Amino acid sequence: MKTTIVKAFGTEAANAPLHSMNIKRRELLPHDVEMEIFYCGICHSDLHQIKNEFGGATFPMVPGHEIVGKVSKVGGNVRTFKVGDLAAIGCIIDSCGKCEYCNDDLEQFCDQGVTFSFNSPDKHLGGATYGGFSESYIADEKYVLHVPQTLDLGSAAPLLCAGITVYSPLKHWHAGPGKMVGILGIGGLGHVAIKIAKAMGAHVVVFTTSPSKVEDAKRLGADEAVLSTDAEQLKKYARKMHFIIDTVSAKHDVNTYLNLLRHDGSVVLVGLPPEALEVKAFSIVTGRHSFSGSNIGGIAETQEMLDFCDGHHITADVEIIQIQQVNKAFERLQRGDVHYRFVVDMHSLSN
């Protein structure tokens, strides 16, 4: 297959710094859309992966899966995009399209294994897929999203992963009027979760380990914010929460939060701590609680989320950086020093 060389930023090995590199993109197939990348967000999953914290990572690796830009070329059979349209790519760029999950718009659970936008087996070129820290991306139009014109592109980029990852469980567990919804951890995912849960009409309670975020959570729209390291403050919420979205990226005690649930409530894990988490029997049998999880969302739901965020004027709070600052940004993300998402201006690749 013919390929084109494009500029990118990636890493050769776990824990090695990212640097400028050239990568190959496939030639345009009849159903493919080529997108010029304007912005790409930095998710904690990018950080887990460049450190190979889940094992099995493929190097060289070009991370980035919160990708927005403009369509620069379309294949002969493309019907849903034209050159110049705003477009976005999130975590998913392919799936079997035939299994029960794909048929139900749940491509993230595809029987054949979903293809992620980076560090996933590349069906066309072999090796691994390369992500959004690059000039351009090529994907089948079925996996490309339409970005509403009114959303600010740089601050909309994080919706492609952070947004859908919290929208999907908030909807599934019925966030809305009369529901006490907890958000645990206020980083990229958590701060967008506050905004979306509030827009859905829920009463939003934030649990954070960072004293500085207690006040800021209210600015972001939370009704209440609690310093989770203070057991006294937590007591007030015992048996009050309908469900809690847990976005914490590192090992933590989930039993503390299971004990805040009403009967039939759930702690929904979306964070991906590499270490196993311990669930105590009495944290779940008492009150018929559950400890559950959720993984991004399907393509149709991602489009629905973008349209929902457009309707409610929701974007992320971002710090726009140049690609040359990406290693510093990863260090700051590791320390929790980000309010609340780094987004790379991808035109800086040509600096």
* Per-residue binder mask for ligand NAP (CB under 6 A), 245-264, x = binder: --xxxx-x------------
Candidate segments 28-36, 43-51, 118-126, 314-322, binder of ligand NAP by CB under 6 A: 43-51
**Span from 55-63, 92-100, 241-249, 318-326 in contact with ligand NAP (CB under 6 A):** 241-249
At 145, give phi and psi (nearest 5°).
-100, 155
Query: Whose structure tokens read 């649930």?
Result: 261
Residue 161 engages Zn ion in binding (rule: CB under 5 A): yes
Residue 232 burial class via C-beta count within 10 angstroms: exposed 0-12, middle 13-18, buried 19 and up? exposed
258 within 8 A of 235, measured Cβ to Cβ: no
Pick the closer one to ligand NAP by CB: 115 or 165. Answer: 165
For ligand NAP, give the closer residue by CB, 25 or 44. Answer: 44
Please tell me whether residue 299 binds Zn ion under the rule CB under 5 A: no
Contact indicator for 255, 279 with CB cutoff of 8 Å: yes
Closest by CA position to 161, among listed 37, 301, 326, 58: 301
Count of residues in the chain = 351
Beta strands in the chain (DSSP E): 3-10, 19-26, 32-42, 67-74, 86-89, 92-94, 115-116, 136-140, 145-146, 180-184, 203-208, 224-227, 241-246, 261-269, 290-293, 318-322, 341-345
Say if strands 203-208 and 136-140 run parallel, antiparallel, or are unpaired: unpaired
In the block, residue with structure tokens 């004027």: 313
- What is the CA angle 304-43-294, rounded to 5? 55
95 binds Zn ion (CB under 5 A): yes
Q: Per CB under 5 A, does 305 bind Zn ion?
A: no
Binding residue for Zn ion, selected from 102, 156, 206, 323, defined by CB under 5 A? 102
The closest of 120, 75, 72, 68 to 94, measured between CA atoms, is 120
CB of 215 to ligand NAP, least distance (A): 12
Residue from the set 21, 99, 125, 320 that interacts with Zn ion by CB under 5 A: 99
Contact 165, 65 (CB under 8 A): no
Scanning 32-40, 44-52, 275-283, 321-329 for contacts with ligand NAP by CB under 6 A, the matching segment is 44-52
Site for ligand NAP contains 213 (CB under 6 A)? yes
Applying CB under 6 A, among 33, 57, 189, 214 the residue interacting with ligand NAP is 189
Query: Considering CB distances under 5 to 8 angstroms, the limit depending on partner class, which of Zn ion, ligand NAP, none binds residue 187?
Result: ligand NAP
How far apart are the C-alpha atoms of 11 and 7, rounded to whole Å? 13
Strands 136-140 and 3-10: unpaired
Return the range that interacts with ligand NAP (CB under 6 A); candidates 67-75, 80-88, 267-275, 321-329. Answer: 267-275
Residue closer to ligand NAP by CB (options 33, 166) is 166
Segment interacting with ligand NAP (CB under 6 A) among 28-36, 79-87, 209-217, 260-268:
209-217
Residue of the chain from 18, 35, 43, 102 that contacts ligand NAP (CB under 6 A): 43
At closest approach, how far in Å is the CB of 240 from ligand NAP? Answer: 19
Rank residues 72 and 290 by Cβ distance to ligand NAP and give the closer one: 290
Pick the closer one to ligand NAP by CB: 52 or 209.
209
Decide: is 70 part of the binding site for ligand NAP (CB under 6 A): no
Q: Closest separation between CB of residue 176 and ligand NAP, Å?
A: 22
Pairwise CA distance, residues 32 & 30, whole Å: 6
Restricting to residues 34-53, which ones interact with Zn ion according to CB under 5 A?
43, 45
Binding site for ligand NAP (CB under 6 A): 43-45, 48, 161, 165, 185-190, 208-210, 213, 247-250, 252, 270-272, 295-296, 333, 336
